[in-house]
Chain A
Amino acid sequence: DGGITQSPKYLFRKEGQNVTLSCEQNLNHDAMYWYRQDPGQGLRLIYYSQIVNDFQKGDIAEGYSVSREKKESFPLTVTSAQKNPTAFYLCASSPYRGTYEQYFGPGTRLTVT
């Protein structure tokens, strides 16, 4: 089945540790995105990539890093510089044409203590 996978579903880390969240898609989409959800807030854009080997900062990129070495993969690293890393993280992809509607993964809930 075509879709987006994120792993793991739940992730626990100690404060001060970097952690990488996985996002893989087999939809042959060029564009991929990372969003963060916090209680009472809308989804907020962290980073996005419109093509392999290129990515752009979103609205809340501080404390995060990404790479886009393959079309299928867009991992997000939450670094120790991110002040409030505990959140629900959603990855999405879209074709780079047409309506650009986004397809979302199931999300990863990260808890940092």
Chain B
Amino acid sequence: ILNVEQSPQSLHVQEGDSTNFTCSFPSSNFYALHWYRWETAKSPEALFVMTLNGDEKKKGRISATLNTKEGYSYLYIKGSQPEDSATYLCAFPSDHSGGGADGLTFGKGTHLIIQP
């Protein structure tokens, strides 16, 4: 079973501040790295799927970077808003039969709370 680590486990941020957190994953046999946002009482929702080393993706105030050689990805949130409060999950395709449609191995998530 693959090991996907996320840090920190939880984070309290003042509204308007920017923040970032980390996902570490195995650097060998890289295929893709997924980021999901999971708001309370809702379903997890995909933010990014990253496949290329050095890739940077952006969606509004949220962006992510990827370093496949050293096995980490950062998620950044600029100017945090209360609606950004959620658990952010990263995930790596599980090492079963190979290929992108394998299930995912998830980290435990970073629980982000934005304080007004």
- Residues of A near any B CB (own CB < 8 A): 4, 30-31, 33, 35, 40-45, 48, 50, 56, 58-59, 90, 92, 94, 96, 99-107
List chain A residues, Cβ under 8 A from B59: none
A101–B101 CB distance below 8 A: no
Which applies to chain B's interface (DSSP): helix, strand, loop or mixed? loop
User: In the complex, are the beta carbons of A43 and B43 less than 8 A apart?
Assistant: no
Is B94 on the interface with A (CB-CB < 8 A)? yes
B77-103 vs A, CB cutoff 8 Å, 1 = contact: the mask equals: 000000000000101011011011111
List the 6 shortest-distance A-B pairs measured between CB atoms, nearest first.
Answer: A45-B103, A100-B100, A42-B106, A99-B49, A101-B46, A104-B43
Cβ of B105 and Cβ of A105 under 8 Å apart?
Answer: no
- Indicate if B4 sits at the interface (CB-CB under 8 A): yes
> In whole angstroms, how far apart are the Cα atoms of A105 and B89 in the complex?
16
**Interface status of B44 (Cβ within 8 A of chain A):** yes
Contact status B34-A102, CB under 8 Å: yes
- Cβ-neighbour of B106 out of A43, A48, A96 (below 8 A): A43
Which residues of B does A touch, CB under 8 Å? 1, 4, 32, 34, 36, 42-46, 49, 51, 89, 91, 93-94, 96-97, 99-109
Query: Is there contact, CB below 8 Å, between A45 and B104?
Result: yes
Residues from chain A with Cβ under 8 Å of B104 in the complex: 33, 43, 45, 102
B94/A58 in contact, CB under 8 A: yes
